[in-house]
Chains A and B, each alone.
Chain A
Amino acid sequence: MAIGHYLVLSGVLFSIGAAGVFLRRNLITLLLSVEIMLNAVNLAFVAFGRQFGTVDGQIITFFVMTVAAAEAAVGLALVIGLFRHRESLNPEAFTSLKW
């Protein structure tokens, strides 16, 4: 299969993730959407790595996964913090800072 197919899939995944961030109405889903975006990028890295015939792409993916894990930890902690204040997971409930 040509590299193009992987890239298209990656692009579609990335767009789905990005759209999720500003369309979904749940804080947890927003975090998941970001994860989808990162995984789309991972797919691209792996595909490119395979094209070059090196393992670089896959190694990079591990780095990205590590970062994603750290991000998820901080993100979930913050979501819990928010939930404690408002008993809500709707992002629209947290708009006290504006203008």
Chain B
Amino acid sequence: MLALIPLLPFAGFLVNATMGRRLPKTVTGGLASAVMVVSFLIAVTQVWALAAMPPESRQVNQVLFTWITAGDFSLDLAFRLDALSAVMILVITGIGSLIHIYSTAYMSHETDADFGRFFSYLNLFCFFMLMLVLGSNVLVMFVGWEGVGLCSYLLIGFYYEKQAAADAAKKAFVVNRIGDFAFILGALLLVVTFNSLDFTTIALAAKAMPVEVTFGTLSLITLLLFVGATGKSAQIPLYVWLPDAMEGPTPVSALIHAATMVTAGVYMIGRNAVLFEHAPITLGIVAVVGAATALMAGTIGLVQNDIKRVLAYSTVSQLGYMFLAMGMGAFGAGIFHLMTHAFFKACLFLGSGAVIHALHGEQDIRKMGGLKKHIPVTYWTFVIASVAIAGVPGLAGFFSKDEILFETFLHGHQILWGVGVLTSLLTATYMFRLVHLTFHGDERFGAVADGHDAHGHAPQHLSTPAPEHLSTPAPQHSHGVHLHDAPAPMAFALIVLAIGSILAGYVGVPHALGGHNNLGAWLEPAFQATNCGQPVATGELAGIALEDCLPGEEAGVEDHAALELSLMAVSSLVAFAGIGLASFLWLKRKDIPAQMATQFAGVHKLLLNKYYVDEVYDATIVQPIKVVSQEGLWRGFDVKIVDGAVNGAGYFVSGVSIVLRLLQNGSVKTYAASIFAGAVVILAFYLWR
């Protein structure tokens, strides 16, 4: 049964890849979506069955066949469902299904052949992604790891007629390969060290090893694996491909570059939690890199004008959060954030897709504004997801983000905590900047270019109540602005994801708020080295395994309830401050919509009353941030250094290549001389060494 979960999308891929170009869109799209939904249902039943087991032995293994044997080393092509992969497969198949359904409408303008091609890639992606999370050893994971990279490449370059898309695809692929280089070295070292690649075996063996205080083998292995993760999950220094990857169709951005593939690195660390725990140096690096990425991407997100790029930097930033959690050893918190993020970020991307769809391809938020009334479904879902990501109490993002910040503080990393809080502020700010510029304020989409010339529009036509799916063009825009809200399949996906953005957090309500952190408890066994679900391989490991099966004592989180509550208050405050700041800065020329004013009365009033602060803010905070992030971080660091390094490596190789090929001058005498010289060198080495 377990194997069916990935195999169904694969079957869908096979059908669509071979016959997709000849089938009508309803069949290709319907089939692709159907396999995902069925896969989701199977996943639910499997997880249900898993939940029925006692917590310590929640593990289902399915060995398909022995894949590689080399001497005493052998490796199965096997799937393993445990608490961690259960969360992942539900996210992948669930959100994957929604995005498939959404795409049937979003991609409907493509030709039959392209439509079929799109869905075959999408299904193939889901197959590899499921393989990645279900794989019971590093190599099966690597198959998925490479496979999703390949699909990501194909999908980013889907509109290959656009040069930018083809370039972005190539960049993503090449940057990912750099990460994979480290990953495979790490995997090879794992074989040498543990003579196994099975996650459970490695975890058990690692557990028996001392925690590495100085940099040793485990640190090296984990560091290499983490470098692999920075490629896949877009962290410093290998994050550069993700913003460019927005050239792909929007559903792809939602599925691959927000909800699933980019979180593979986080998952990988969670999967090897025991290993990483024994390498505190690496964990420190993970945390610092995560926090730095979160902050940097957050500031960059603040000044982007492409709706999808803002979301892309936001994704990078949120992934940074997850890595921060992983680096703190708070694996449960990281995975929790991964899950909630999947909901609201997918919702945001799909919402941005609906906006782009409505505006016939416009992505520049300076040319949007006032869309609220025209596309209400999109608006409301987008706002819900934005509130969720901003960390407003009660919604998904709040719980997961709070848990990360709390764990960070608890581990005594006040600086990283500060960075986290600052990023949280930035998150709220740029998200609501996006909301305001896109949905509130003046309509700028009909007007030509200039975003600030909005005052000329008479506001009264905007306030006239419009019918549910507003296709009535505004009178001034006589050249025909024709706005459709999301069609039914898109709306369905958006609404479900928005509901998810509200509710997803409630699986992990912290103890401090009277909850039980169910998700944390559910995941806990997956981060321990347990071997209870299956027969123990060797005798010496039996003792350890048995020990692990005994229920451990409850973690004493209650002591910190007061601390957690006060930290929560801080982060809530920060979220509201960010939203208020955004409203203040990007709506200040217009009347802030009434419900915003009442909802955020406190913050709003505070800011409004100190109107003179505007100039001060502008001069002391906004402009410096703008300058630093736009000129410094984005133009300077991002474009010049990181991009430059990646491109530079490419140019370097090409340059060396061009020079070296000239040695091959076509003359047979040169070639003979080369052979002779080689022979002389070898013989000289032997005779005079």
Contacts and interface: CB of A to CB of B under 8 A. Distances in A.
The answer to A–B direct touch (Cβ < 8 A) is yes
B665 A98 contact: yes
Contact of B673 (A22, A96, A97): A22
Contacts of B669: 21-23, 91-92
A18 B680 CA distance: 11
Interface string A19-43: 1011100000010000000000000
A95 B661 contact: no
A99 B666 contact: yes
A99 B662 contact: yes
A92 B668 CA distance: 8
Contacts of B667: 91-92, 95, 98
A30 B666 CA distance: 16
Nearest to A15: B676
A22 B672 contact: yes
A93 B662 CA distance: 17
B214 interface: no
B539 to A, nearest CB: 59
17 contacts: A19-B676, A21-B669, A21-B672, A21-B676, A22-B669, A22-B673, A23-B669, A91-B667, A91-B668, A91-B669, A92-B669, A94-B666, A96-B666, A98-B664, A99-B662, A99-B665, A99-B666
Nearest to B669: A22
Interface string A37-81: 000000000000000000000000000000000000000000000
Contacts of B665: 95, 98-99
Interface in B23-64: none
Interface in B665-683: 665-670, 672-673, 676
Given A91-B667, A95-B667, 14 more contacts: A21-B669, A21-B676, A22-B669, A23-B669, A30-B668, A91-B668, A92-B669, A94-B666, A94-B668, A95-B666, A96-B666, A98-B664, A98-B667, A99-B666
A22 B668 CA distance: 8
A96 B668 CA distance: 11
A74 B385 CA distance: 77
Top 6 closest pairs, chain A to chain B, by CB? A98-B666, A95-B666, A22-B672, A22-B673, A22-B669, A21-B672
Contacts of A30: 668
Dominant secondary structure of chain B at its interface with chain A: helix
B670 A22 contact: yes
Given A18-B676, A22-B676, A99 B670 contact: no
B611 to A, nearest CB: 69
Contacts of A18: 672, 676
Interface residues of B, number: 12
A92 B667 CA distance: 6
A73 to B, nearest CB: 19
Most chain B beta-carbon neighbours within 10 Å: one of A22, A94, A97: A22
Interface of B: 661-662, 664-670, 672-673, 676
Contacts of B666: 94-99
Interface residues of A, number: 14
Contacts of B670: 22
A22 B673 CA distance: 6
A94 B670 CA distance: 12
Contacts of B661: 99
Nearest to A91: B668
A55 to B, nearest CB: 29
A82 to B, nearest CB: 11
Contacts of A23: 669
Nearest to A20: B672
A6 B664 CA distance: 37
Nearest to B668: A91
Contacts of B664: 98-99
A21 to B, nearest CB: 5
Contacts of A94: 666, 668
A78 to B, nearest CB: 11
Nearest to B672: A22
Nearest to A19: B676
Contacts of B676: 18-19, 21-22
Contacts of A96: 666
Contacts of A21: 669, 672, 676
Nearest to A21: B672
A18 B672 CA distance: 8
A99 B657 CA distance: 10
B2 to A, nearest CB: 53
A60 B666 CA distance: 35
A21 B664 CA distance: 17
Contacts of A91: 667-669
Contacts of B668: 30, 91, 94
A16 B669 CA distance: 15
Nearest to A98: B666
B658 to A, nearest CB: 9
A12 to B, nearest CB: 15
Contacts of A92: 667, 669
A65 B208 CA distance: 67
Contacts of A22: 669-670, 672-673, 676
B679 to A, nearest CB: 8
B528 to A, nearest CB: 58
A22 B665 CA distance: 14
A71 B25 CA distance: 64
B117 to A, nearest CB: 37
Nearest to B671: A22
B656 to A, nearest CB: 14
A95 B667 CA distance: 6
Nearest to A33: B672
A89 to B, nearest CB: 12
A98 to B, nearest CB: 3
B532 to A, nearest CB: 62
Contacts of A99: 661-662, 664-666
A18 B665 CA distance: 20
A95 B662 CA distance: 13
A87 B212 CA distance: 73
B459 to A, nearest CB: 67
A95 B672 CA distance: 14
A99 B667 CA distance: 11
Contacts of A97: 666
A3 to B, nearest CB: 18
Most chain B beta-carbon neighbours within 10 Å: one of A19, A30, A92: A92
Contacts of A95: 665-667
A33 B666 CA distance: 20
A80 B340 CA distance: 76
A30 B667 CA distance: 13
Contacts of B673: 22
A99 B662 CA distance: 5
Nearest to B661: A99
A47 to B, nearest CB: 19
A30 B672 CA distance: 10
B660 to A, nearest CB: 10
A19 B679 CA distance: 12
